[in-house]
Amino acid sequence: MVNYPNGKKKAYTSEPTSAGGRGMVLEKDINVTNMFYLSID
C-alpha cells in the first residue's frame, strides 16, 4: 500500500507499464491520486 500524507491509502496499481513491470507504482499515478485526495480533503 502507498501511504499518503493525509492518511489515505491506495493499492499498488496492476496496470502493466511499458517496462513490463506489474504491481509497480507509477509516478504519474501517485501524483494524480495525491492531487485528487488533496482536492477533496
Dump strand ranges (E) for 1-41: 2-3, 9-10
Confidence band (pLDDT; 50, 70, 90) for 1? Answer: low
In order, the DSSP letters of the chain are: -EE-TTS-EEPPP-PPPTT--SSPPPHHHHHHHHHHHHHH-
pLDDT at position 10 is 58
Nearest-angstrom CA–CA distance, 2 and 14: 13
pLDDT at position 27 is 65
Domain boundaries, the chain: 2-40
The pTM assigned to this predicted structure is: 0.22
pLDDT at position 7 is 55
pLDDT at position 26 is 61
Q: What is the pLDDT of residues 7-41, one digit of tens each?
A: 555 555 545 445 544 455 566 667 777 666 666 65
Nearest-angstrom CA–CA distance, 18 and 33: 20
